[in-house]
Amino acid sequence: MVVEVNARHLFPGLERFRAYLNTAGLGLMPVTVLKAVNEFLLDVINYKEGINAVEELDPMYLEPVQREAAKLLRVKRDNVTFSIQTTDGLKRALQALKPGKGMKIVSFDLEFPTISAIVKSYAKLHGLRVEVVENENGLYTPEMVEKVIDDETFAVVYSDVQWITGQRMPREIAEIAKEHGAWVIVDAVQSLGALKVDLRNVDVLVAGGEKWLLNPNTGSGVMYLSNEFLEECEPVIGLLNTEPPVPWSDWWGDKDKDLWDLLPLRNDARVLDHGTPPYLSIVALGASLELLNSLGVERIEKHDLKLAEKVREWARERGFEVLGNSQIVLIRTGLGFEKEREAVAKLKEEGVVVSLRGAKGIYGVRVSPHLYNTEEDVEVFIEKFSSILGL
């Protein structure tokens, strides 16, 4: 593996740490983003020709990033648009779907609170029942899902990879949901950029840029919308998710247009774009996506899983319980919550960054390596963690 040799020098933030193993909390940003953002801002400041026209802004700045996102997702560009991190995308997707009366929406009890908040709010607005699948020792199985999803299920909303345990959710969830005619809405913020995502039977996939997509603190995100979703959705009509009969620059000056005569909706994923796209965030995301694609997601996945497995092997050898089958590892030492919290704090003092995560009695030390990490980083963590625990 040589991913880190090719990319590590692009992440100056690494110099602050002995070992940064917390991408599930916040990813690091490559310097290539700085270059892309500076070039865009210079274009704006210098009032580059076309900078005030949507029909020129899109091909100059937005569409190239769409192509990078589509490449990462292995889909057509027309099925991709952008969001402001994950929450915004989930809200826009759900707002465009109209459930029938007496239906229900299904999710899982260890989901990130963004999902629980959105699901409960949406259910209250539309009079839906909410059914939450309870974990068993932090994990979920297809059999547990089969007991809950039925023909009254309007949608199933869940994370591709669970943020606490690192479990990659069973592919059968989407299959079971589609068998019952339910919409499948997936939060991929903990997988896209690190793992190959499986879009079979998925209607909506949303991923904020702040973690594995290496675009923290920019407000960026990616959305995938299936053809079925695009055919059936009823989004809020804004302006730029419609199409004028002539270029926008001509339409603005048309003296005969009726401003209450709504324009036809777009027929691609940008039908969920209600206003002017956040071009600065999109440009920033584009530089990160370009890096990920240049390395190749298959290569990154192999690298990340290899480092995660090294952590798991050590933890199991020490007799610890380990959860997660992804690039995220949750180590349950059995030494108690306070002991683990102290250990994570002491690791930070030593320049080793991991996280303490938990809910509903499931907790542990979460380790999450990415493409800029090396086996040496994992060894540093193991050495420091062992010393702190007195092993």
- What distance in Å separates the CA atoms of residue 227 and residue 223, rounded to the nearest whole number? 13
State residue 2's pLDDT score. Answer: 40
CA R_g for the chain: 22
- What distance in Å separates the CA atoms of residue 347 and residue 349, rounded to the nearest whole number? 5
Give SS3 for 353: strand
Summarize pLDDT for 246-277 with one digit per residue, the tens.
888 899 999 999 999 999 999 999 999 988 89
State residue 200's pLDDT score. Answer: 95
Using alpha carbons, select from 86, 44, 81, 51 the residue that is nearest to residue 66: 81
Summarize pLDDT for 87-133 with one digit per residue, the tens.
999 999 999 999 988 899 999 999 999 999 999 999 999 999 999 99
Using alpha carbons, select from 159, 151, 198, 139 the residue that is nearest to residue 177: 151
Q: Where are the domains of the chain?
A: 3-21+297-389, 33-293
- What distance in Å separates the CA atoms of residue 221 and residue 219, rounded to the nearest whole number? 7
| DSSP, res 58 | I
State residue 5's pLDDT score. Answer: 43
Give SS3 for 50: coil
- Element at 323 (helix H, strand E): strand 321-323
State residue 35's pLDDT score. Answer: 96
Taking the CA of residue 248 as centre, how many other CA atoms within 13 Å lie in the half-sphere pointing to its CB? 14
- What distance in Å separates the CA atoms of residue 151 and residue 154, rounded to the nearest whole number? 8
State residue 6's pLDDT score. Answer: 61
State residue 1's pLDDT score. Answer: 39
Q: Which residue type sits at 293?
A: N
Give SS3 for 74: coil
Residue 310 neighbours by CB under 8 Å, 6+ apart: 375, 378
Would 3-21+297-389 and 33-293 be classified into the same CATH topology? no
- The structure's pTM equals 0.95
**Residues 139, 364, 369: CA angle, nearest 5 degrees:** 90
Environment class of 30 (CB within 10 Å of its CB; exposed 0-12, middle 13-18, buried 19+): buried
CATH number 3.90.1150.10 is the correct assignment for the domain at 3-21+297-389:
yes
CATH code for residues 33-293: 3.40.640.10
- Interaxial angle between packed helices 375-389 and 297-317, expressed in degrees from 0 to 180 and rounded to the nearest 10: 20
Positions of the chain with pLDDT lower than 50, given as ranges: 1-5
State residue 225's pLDDT score. Answer: 98
Which residues sit opposite 80 in a β-bridge? 224
Percent helix / strand / coil, the chain, rounded to 5? 45, 15, 40
